[in-house]
C-alpha cells in the first residue's frame, strides 16, 4: 500500500479527478505530479522520498501519483517518454519538473523554488485578540511603527503593502510588494495584491469602455482593446464579462503579448471572491491550455 492511502497531502490521480484535484486545485497550492509504474525500479526509490518530502511541507503542496499503466491517457497528455517523471503544476499549467530518481536534498531544493513549508499546527489553540477596527491610514501608521520596532520581521512589510493598497496608494503598495523576500512573494495575500495592482496600473490612461468597444467592433483582433475592456469590466464589477474578454483572446491567440490573457485570468482569479465563478472560468481556461 502506498503512502497515498494514509496522507491527506498525497493521492492517486485519475482521469476522473484530474481536473478538480490537480488542475483546479493548483490555483490554491502547487500540485506535484509523480508519473510512475509498479515495474519501474527508480520509481520505487523516488516515490517514498517524494512522499516524505511532500508531507514535511505540511499541506502547502500536494502530491498526485499517476500510475502510467492505469492512466495511459494522462501519461500521453504529459508527453511522458521515461519514468519516473515529476511535474509541478501551478495555476493550471506545468511550471517545473525533472526526470529520474533524485536524492532527498535535490527534491527539497526543487520544491523550495516554488513553496515554503508551513509551520506544524500548534498543540493548543490560543484565544485570538479582539479585532480593532481602524482606517487604512491608521493601519499604515501602526504597521510602520511595528516595522521600526522589528525591522527584520518581513511579514510586516506584506501587511504594509496591503494597507497601502486599501488606502489607494498603488505605487507605495507596489514598492512594498517588490521588496518582499521570496518566501512571502508567493503568499496568497501577495498574489491577490499583485493582481489588484496589475489591473490598477493597466487602466492608467486607458480609453473609455465605449471607445474600446468601438475599436473591437472595427477589428475583432484588436486584442489590446479587448484586454483593456476586460480590465475595465472587472474593475466596474462585471467580472464574468471581463473574464470572457480574456478568454476570447486566449482562444484566438494564446501567445499574444507573451501570454497576457492567461496572466490576466490568473490575476483575476486571485482577486475575485466568487468561488463558483472562479471555478467555472478556471476550467474553461484549462480546457484551452492543457
Residues annotated as part of the active site: 40, 43
Angle at alpha carbon of residue 177, lines to 191 and 25, rounded to 5°:
10
Q: Which of 106, 108, 104, 83 is nearest to 33 (CA)?
A: 83
Omega of the bond leading into 84 within 30 degrees of 0 (cis): yes
- Cβ(54)–Cβ(61) below 8 Å: yes
HSE value, Cβ hemisphere, 13 Å, CA-based, for 209: 12
Q: Which three cell numbers stand for residue 136?
A: 487604512
Coil, helix or strand at residue 174: helix
76 C-beta neighbours (distance < 10 Å), count: 10
Give start and end residues of each alpha helix (H) in 16-95.
41-56, 72-77
Sheet of strand 31-36, all strands in order from the earlier edge strand to the far edge: 10-12, 62-67, 31-36, 85-90, 93-99
Find the angle CA(56)-CA(58)-CA(61) to the nearest 5 degrees. 95
Amino acid at each position: 500500500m502506498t503512502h497515498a492511502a494514509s496522507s491527506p497531502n498525497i493521492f492517486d490521480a485519475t482521469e476522473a479527478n484530474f481536473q478538480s484535484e490537480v488542475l483546479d486545485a493548483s490555483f490554491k497550492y502547487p500540485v506535484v505530479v509523480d508519473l510512475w509504474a509498479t515495474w519501474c525500479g527508480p520509481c520505487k526509490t523516488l516515490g517514498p522520498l517524494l512522499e516524505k518530502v511532500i508531507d514535511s511541507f505540511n499541506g502547502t503542496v500536494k502530491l498526485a501519483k499517476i500510475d502510467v499503466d492505469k492512466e495511459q491517457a494522462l501519461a500521453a497528455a504529459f508527453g511522458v517518454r521515461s519514468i519516473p517523471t515529476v511535474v509541478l503544476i501551478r495555476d493550471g499549467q506545468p511550471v517545473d519538473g525533472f526526470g529520474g530518481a533524485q536524492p532527498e536534498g535535490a527534491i527539497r531544493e526543487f520544491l523550495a523554488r516554488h513553496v515554503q513549508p508551513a509551520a506544524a499546527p500548534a498543540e493548543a489553540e490560543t484565544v485570538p485578540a479582539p479585532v480593532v477596527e481602524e482606517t487604512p491610514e491608521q493601519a499604515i501608521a501602526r504597521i510602520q511603527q511595528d516595522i521600526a520596532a522589528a525591522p527584520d520581521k518581513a511579514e510586516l512589510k506584506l501587511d504594509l503593502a496591503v494597507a497601502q493598497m486599501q488606502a489607494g496608494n498603488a505605487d507605495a503598495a507596489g514598492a512594498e510588494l517588490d521588496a518582499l523576500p521570496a518566501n512571502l512573494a508567493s503568499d496568497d495575500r501577495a498574489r491577490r495584491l499583485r493582481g489588484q495592482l496589475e489591473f490598477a496600473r493597466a487602466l492608467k490612461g486607458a480609453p473609455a469602455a465605449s471607445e474600446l468597444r468601438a475599436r473591437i467592433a472595427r477589428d475583432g483582433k484588436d486584442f489590446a482593446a479587448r484586454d483593456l475592456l476586460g480590465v475595465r469590466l472587472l474593475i466596474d464589477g462585471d467580472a464574468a464579462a471581463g473574464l470572457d474578454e480574456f478568454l476570447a483572446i486566449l482562444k484566438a491567440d494564446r501567445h499574444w503579448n507573451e501570454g497576457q490573457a492567461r496572466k490576466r485570468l490568473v490575476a483575476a482569479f486571485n482577486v475575485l471572491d466568487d468561488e463558483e465563478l472562479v471555478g467555472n472560468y478556471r476550467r474553461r481556461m484549462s480546457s484551452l491550455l492543457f
